[in-house]
């Protein structure tokens, strides 16, 4: 059973006049065209001069007006995410204020004590991130809600930690994670330190729908905002880092390899200070930063995309690693919740580990190190998403450790950890998803790139004792647990018709009774819209194929695309890779041509 989270209650006013005004507003809003919304913004006295100038420049560009005003940024379980610019479908101070007012309405619905508990607020290195965070605090203050805002950028996991540590009712983090420089976003958390559930997100979205983006938003002045805002400084980092350091499984391996060179890059983001400091406190003495990428810059000037999934982002790190003789390069994304790794293989080349591979290495390392230290609980259980490699399940089964599957999204991993803690059914030891998110321990309920960086360096030290790099370690694990290949296919459906095209694509899958794919028998098709395996309803199609092979299809929650996850296994790497390519090709031929 998925544990039940306390759901925010809608703030229903008993004042008939207020309900009537809301009804009239909703009726008027539904009748407005994108041109009406554009003109509303142009004429609003609330608009600042820079925004007004942006709007003036597109007055003869109907396509741009439609793109910016035909819809509004959707508030979902991941909060908001979009390109920065003027318009209801863009990230700007007005859409941030609007979202915060909707969130504030939900919080106020829980009464005075919820407002007193307050909201933790953080931000990353992107353009406008600090400004958006400050605007969120202004709206919260105007609604009588206290906030705890960090004095400078911080990793997302520290924000998630602060929500629970400070006893806050909620949390807000301004970040677009690993997206390109044009984007920004707004992550919302509830009191358990987990991003909002679908039900909670729907409540916030309903409040946003019922609120005028200008007249309906409350704004505090500078004095009131200061009164309601507590600033969190670097001294608060100590509490968070101590919890991260407690996740270490074998400090002796670090002591024996303290001078092992480690190249680190934060990709111009929030990990720039805490990741190196955490590694130093753990005992590593030779941390070598990629100086060009230690510069905090929302343009991310040294990479096309600040995403640790992309090998090309590590080019500067590889160049530095060759110079200093390092076998390990670690990178965290701009909000430092994801972590990627590049390692030197037996031929001297630097290869990127996938999120699945890194997770398997960490999982196997933690299980065996904790067992050797007498610290592996009898009821230990790991958690992965349904789109994460089945190799993780093989590792757990071979070691007598439980494994639980959840839907895509780290909130479900955090939710399962919360469930285990409350029920006592299992002890959560590790959770991960293929998209480079990892969590060990129970101090936080979100993926943590700071902790993951510590653990992968520790695992590298463990294998260094055996004269092996992490590339060697991965080959050893393949020989032990079977050769697995994972590949993600992205089918982009952009533009104004993109959402409709994605819905039609998923409907086409549901209407097709597929019996074979790529020479493999389709043993079972799970449609998660119908509710499967006790998990929440989700727009996902899961194909269980013969030979323990899997294919999963789902629309992305943050980008205009459908994602296909192809997961295969075989007696050799060549056989597994061949099967993966054939399965992908068969799917493309059947559904995309």
CATH number at residue 562: 3.30.310.50
Q: Which of 232, 249, 278 is the last residue of a domain?
A: 232
139 and 245 within one domain: no
The domain that holds 211 is classified in CATH as: 3.40.120.10
398 and 255 within one domain: yes
Residue 12 has a pLDDT of 47
Residue 25 has a pLDDT of 61
CB 266 within 8 A of CB 332: yes
96 and 191 within one domain: yes
346 and 438 within one domain: yes
Report yes or no on 413 lying in a domain: yes
248 and 219 within one domain: no
CB 339 within 8 A of CB 352: no
Q: Which of 178, 209, 232 is the last residue of a domain?
A: 232
CB 153 within 8 A of CB 296: yes
Alpha-carbon distances, residue 145 vs 106, 107, 108, 163, 170 (angstroms): 11, 8, 8, 14, 11
Please tell me the total count of domains within the chain: 3
Residue 372 has pLDDT above 80, yes or no: yes
Instruction: Please state, for a pLDDT cut of 70, what percent of the chain lies above it.
Output: 95
Residue 8 has a pLDDT of 45
377 and 270 within one domain: yes
Report yes or no on 63 lying in a domain: no
Q: Which of 481, 507, 530 is the last residue of a domain?
A: 481
Residue 55 has a pLDDT of 97
Look up the domain containing 104 and give its range. Answer: 16-31+71-232
In this structure, the strands spanning 119-123 and 170-174 are parallel
159 and 134 within one domain: yes
Q: How confident is the model at residue 13 (pLDDT cuts 50, 70, 90)?
A: very low
367 and 355 within one domain: yes
Q: Give which of 180, 227, 215 is closest to 83, Cα–Cα.
A: 180
Residue 16 has a pLDDT of 55
Catalytic residue among 125, 129, 147, 177: 177
Average pLDDT estimate for 230-259: 97
DSSP one-letter string for 217-273: -----HHHHHHHEEEE-HHHHHHHHHHHHTT-S-HHHHHHTTT--EEEE-TTSTHHH
DSSP state of 535: P
Report yes or no on 201 lying in a domain: yes
Q: How confident is the model at residue 21 (pLDDT cuts 50, 70, 90)?
A: low
pLDDT in tens, 135-163: 999 999 999 999 999 999 999 999 999 99
pLDDT averaged over every residue in the chain:
93
Q: Catalytic site residue 453?
A: no
Residue 176 has a pLDDT of 95
What is the signed CA dihedral for 220, 224, 227, 231, rounded to 10 degrees?
Answer: 40
Q: How confident is the model at residue 235 (pLDDT cuts 50, 70, 90)?
A: very high
Q: How confident is the model at residue 513 (pLDDT cuts 50, 70, 90)?
A: confident
Q: Give which of 478, 471, 484 is closest to 347, Cα–Cα.
A: 471
457 and 358 within one domain: yes
Residue 213 has pLDDT above 70, yes or no: yes
Phi-psi bin for 407: left (phi > 0), alpha (psi -120 to 50), beta?
Answer: beta
Identify each DSSP E strand in 327-426 by its residue range.
Answer: 328-332, 339-344, 350-353, 380-385, 402-406
CB atoms within 10 A of CB 523: 12
pLDDT in tens, 53-96: 999 999 999 999 999 999 999 998 889 999 999 999 999 999 99
Average pLDDT estimate for 409-432: 95
Q: How confident is the model at residue 4 (pLDDT cuts 50, 70, 90)?
A: very low
Q: How confident is the model at residue 7 (pLDDT cuts 50, 70, 90)?
A: very low
Report yes or no on 354 lying in a domain: yes
Report yes or no on 51 lying in a domain: no
Alpha-carbon distances, residue 186 vs 8, 156, 157, 224, 477 (angstroms): 19, 11, 14, 23, 38
Report yes or no on 196 lying in a domain: yes
142 and 212 within one domain: yes
533 and 500 within one domain: yes
Please state which of the ranges 7-16, 123-132, 181-190, 232-241 shows the lowest mean pLDDT: 7-16
Packing angle of the helix pair 449-464, 271-282 (nearest 10 deg): 40
548 and 510 within one domain: yes
Report yes or no on 411 lying in a domain: yes
Report yes or no on 58 lying in a domain: no
């Amino acid at each position: 059973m998925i544990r039940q989270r306390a759901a925010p209650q809608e703030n229903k006013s008993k004042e008939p006049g207020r309900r009537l005004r809301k009804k009239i507003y909703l009726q008027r809003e539904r009748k407005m065209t994108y041109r009406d919304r554009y003109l509303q913004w142009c004429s609003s006295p609330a608009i600042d001069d820079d925004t007004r100038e942006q709007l003036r420049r597109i007055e003869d560009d109907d396509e741009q007006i439609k793109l910016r005003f035909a819809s509004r940024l959707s508030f979902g379980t991941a909060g908001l995410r979009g390109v920065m610019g003027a318009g209801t479908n863009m990230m700007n101070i007005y859409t941030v204020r609007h979202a915060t007012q909707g969130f504030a309405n939900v919080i106020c619905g829980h009464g005075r004590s919820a407002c007193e508990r307050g909201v933790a607020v953080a931000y990353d290195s992107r353009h406008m991130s600090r400004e958006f965070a400050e605007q969120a605090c202004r709206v919260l203050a105007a609604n009588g809600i206290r906030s705890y805002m960090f004095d400078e950028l911080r990793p997302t996991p520290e924000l998630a930690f602060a929500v629970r540590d400070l006893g806050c009712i909620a949390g807000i983090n301004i970040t677009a994670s690993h997206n390109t420089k044009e984007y920004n976003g707004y992550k919302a958390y509830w009191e358990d330190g987990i991003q909002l559930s679908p039900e909670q997100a729907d409540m916030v979205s309903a409040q946003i729908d019922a609120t005028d983006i200008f007249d309906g938003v409350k704004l505090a002045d500078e004095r009131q905002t200061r009164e309601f805002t507590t600033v969190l400084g670097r001294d608060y980092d100590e509490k968070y880092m101590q919890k991260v350091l407690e996740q270490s499984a074998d400090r002796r391996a670090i002591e024996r390899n303290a001078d092992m060179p480690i190249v680190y890059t934060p990709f111009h983001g929030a990990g720039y200070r805490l990741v190196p400091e955490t590694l130093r406190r753990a005992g590593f003495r030779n941390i070598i930063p990629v100086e060009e990428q230690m510069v905090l810059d929302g343009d991310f000037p040294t990479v096309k995309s600040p995403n640790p999934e992309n090998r090309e982002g590590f080019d500067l790190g590889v160049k530095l690693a060759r110079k200093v003789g390092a076998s390990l390069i670690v990178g965290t994304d701009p909000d430092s919740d994801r972590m990627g790794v590049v390692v030197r293989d037996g031929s001297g080349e630097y290869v990127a580990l996938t999120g699945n591979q890194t997770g398997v290495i960490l999982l196997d390392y933690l299980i065996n190190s904790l067992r050797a230290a007498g610290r592996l609980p009898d009821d230990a259980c790991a958690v992965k998403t349904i789109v994460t490699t089945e190799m993780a399940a093989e590792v757990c089964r071979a070691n007598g450790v439980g494994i639980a599957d959840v839907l895509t999204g780290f909130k479900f991993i955090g939710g399962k950890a919360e469930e285990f803690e409350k029920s006592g059914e299992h002890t959560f030891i590790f959770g991960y998803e293929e998209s480079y998110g990892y969590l060990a321990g129970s101090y936080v309920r979100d993926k943590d790139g700071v902790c993951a960086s510590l653990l992968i360096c520790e695992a590298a030290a463990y294998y260094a004792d055996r004269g092996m790099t992490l590339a060697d370690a991965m080959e050893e694990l393949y020989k032990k647990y079977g050769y697995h290949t994972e590949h993600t296919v992205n089918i982009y459906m952009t533009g104004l018709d993109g959402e409709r095209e994605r819905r039609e694509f998923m409907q086409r899958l549901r209407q097709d009774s597929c019996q074979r794919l790529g020479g493999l028998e389709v043993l079972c098709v799970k449609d998660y819209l119908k509710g499967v395996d006790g998990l929440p309803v989700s727009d996902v199609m899961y194909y269980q194929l013969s030979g323990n092979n899997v294919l999963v299809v789902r629309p992305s929650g943050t980008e205009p695309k459908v994602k296909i996850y192809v997961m295969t296994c075989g007696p050799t790497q060549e056989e597994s890779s061949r099967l993966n390519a054939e399965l992908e090709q068969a799917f493309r031929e059947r559904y995309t041509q």
